[in-house]
């Protein structure tokens, strides 16, 4: 059973989660899009987990049997990949393996919405992560998603995230300028990250991979969602402090920073005021 949302997280708490990843080296299976596949695989490795990208029918279900967590990313939805998601999801359900859903582009086209809705109808997800527009669209709230980007204002995103959590039983992460983590009863805002993250294609996909990695090592989905989101944002901030000439060198810095984000480097961090309970 998932825990309540924490009122605060210490550097020691975050260090414990990173230690759990390093000690268990979870195998994280990604069924994701080809645009960001390499970044997703590398970031998973940088978190000290093992990535595998088995995403074809048959092989996906077989590989899922040995995974610690699965990530379903709907950035591309060819028929074979959707079939593979259902295949792997069936194996995960039989073996109680947690699945993270990243409903990329939901709200932009009817096809993507129907794919996500079919997955939600058939499978249970431990964490659902999307931008403000995607989470709102899945929750049945008016949203504008252009391509894969959230457009417009979402003043009631906490309510939408809680509604989706209540309907699905998942912990919901809505990513934006401030990230929102919600369950059916509570919501909190996490202040971490840097504007440079929005200038690099695929950082949303990499956040999904981060959450799947943390979930693969941690029993509690709320802890995985909060700690994974916070660690990702802190890495984004630290990457911006390093010398870089633009988005591409920042992207390299970000990968290097994640690789260097060890339990020792985060244990003494002052994370006070990073989390605000809002509902």
Other CB atoms within 10 Å distance of the CB of residue 57: 16
The two three-digit tokens of residue 234, written as one number = 């802190």
**For residue 5, how many C-alpha atoms fall within 13 Å in the half-sphere facing its CB?**
24
Calpha distance 170→163 (Å, rounded): 10
The response to whether 90 counts as a known ligand-binding position is no
**If you search the block for the tokens 């984000």, which residue do you land on?**
261
Contacts for 49 with CB less than 8 Å, ≥ 6 apart:
21, 25, 26, 27, 28, 68, 213, 216, 217
Q: At what angle do helices 221-241 and 11-24 cross, to 10 degrees?
A: 100
- Indicate the SS3 state at residue 47: coil
The response to whether 53 counts as a known ligand-binding position is yes
The response to whether 113 counts as a known ligand-binding position is no
The response to whether 63 counts as a known ligand-binding position is no
Residue 123 backbone phi and psi in degrees, to 5: -120, 155
Which of 40, 53, 42, 85 is CA-nearest to residue 201? 40
The two three-digit tokens of residue 159, written as one number = 């309510």
With 0-12 CB in 10 A as exposed, 13-18 as middle and 19+ as buried, what is 204?
buried
Pairing mode of beta strands 50-52, 144-146: unpaired
Calculate the CA dihedral of residues 65, 69, 43, 200 and round it to 10 degrees. Answer: 120
Annotated binding-site residues read 53, 129, 175, 202
Binding-site residues from annotation for substrate: 53, 202
Return binding residues for ATP: 129, 175
């Amino acid at each position: 059973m998932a825990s309540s949302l924490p009122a605060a997280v210490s550097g020691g708490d975050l260090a414990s989660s990173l230690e759990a990843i390093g000690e268990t080296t979870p195998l994280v299976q990604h069924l994701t899009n080809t645009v960001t596949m390499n970044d997703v695989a590398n970031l998973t490795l940088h978190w000290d987990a093992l990535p595998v990208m088995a995403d074809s029918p048959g092989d996906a279900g077989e590989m899922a049997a040995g995974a610690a967590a699965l990530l379903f990313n709907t950035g591309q939805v060819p028929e074979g990949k959707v079939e593979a998601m259902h295949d792997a999801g069936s194996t995960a359900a039989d073996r109680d393996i947690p699945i993270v859903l990243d409903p990329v582009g939901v709200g932009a086209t009817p096809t993507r919405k129907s794919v996500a809705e079919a997955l939600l109808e058939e499978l249970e997800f431990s964490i659902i992560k999307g931008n403000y527009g995607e989470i709102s669209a899945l929750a049945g709230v008016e949203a504008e998603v252009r391509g894969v980007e959230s457009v417009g204002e979402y003043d009631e995103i906490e309510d939408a995230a809680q509604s989706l959590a209540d309907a699905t039983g998942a912990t919901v992460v809505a990513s934006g300028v401030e990230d929102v983590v919600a369950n059916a009863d509570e919501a909190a805002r996490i202040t971490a990250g840097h504007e440079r993250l929005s200038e690099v294609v695929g950082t949303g996909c990499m956040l999904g991979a981060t959450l799947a990695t943390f979930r693969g090592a941690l029993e509690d989905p709320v802890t995985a969602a909060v700690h994974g989101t916070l660690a990702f944002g802190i890495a984004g901030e630290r990457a911006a402090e390093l010398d870089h000439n633009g988005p591409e060198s920042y992207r390299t810095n970000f990968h290097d920073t994640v690789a260097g984000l060890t339990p020792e480097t985060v244990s003494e961090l002052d994370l006070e005021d990073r989390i605000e309970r809002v509902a």
